[in-house]
Amino acid sequence: MVASLIKLFVTATATAPTATGTEVETTVDPAVTRYIATINAGMIAGGNTTIPAASFVDDDGDAVTVLPAPPTDGYFNVYVNGMLQEGGLSTLTTASLVLATDEAVEDTPVVLEVSDFSGTTSTVTVQPIISAPTITVIV
Q: Where are the beta strands (DSSP E) in 29-120?
A: 31-38, 44-45, 48-52, 57-58, 74-80, 83-84, 90-92, 96-99, 109-116
Q: Is residue 36 part of a domain?
A: yes
pLDDT of 3 over the 80 cut: no
| Count of beta carbons in the 10 Å neighbourhood of residue 37 | 21
What is the overall mean pLDDT for the chain? 91
Owning domain of residue 93? 25-122
pLDDT of 139 over the 80 cut: no
Give CA–CA dist 139/132, Å, rounded.
Answer: 22
Tell me whether strands 44-45 and 83-84 are parallel, antiparallel or unpaired: unpaired
Q: Where are the beta strands (DSSP E) in the chain?
A: 11-14, 19-20, 23-27, 31-38, 44-45, 48-52, 57-58, 74-80, 83-84, 90-92, 96-99, 109-116, 121-126, 129-130, 135-138
Give the distance from CA 8 to its chain's centroid.
Answer: 55
| 65-89 burial: b if 16+ Cβ within 10 Å, else e | eebbeebeebebebebeeeebeeee
Q: Is residue 133 part of a domain?
A: no
Q: Is residue 137 part of a domain?
A: no
Read off the pLDDT of residues 42-101 as tens digits, 9 standing for 90 and up.
999 989 999 999 999 999 999 999 999 999 999 999 999 999 999 899 999 999 999 998
Q: Is residue 58 part of a domain?
A: yes
Q: Is residue 53 part of a domain?
A: yes
Q: Is residue 19 part of a domain?
A: no
Q: Total domain count for the chain?
A: 1
Q: Is residue 85 part of a domain?
A: yes
Q: Are 75 and 88 in contact (CB under 8 A)?
A: no
Q: Is residue 67 part of a domain?
A: yes
pLDDT given at position 15: 86
pTM: 0.71
pLDDT of 1 over the 70 cut: no
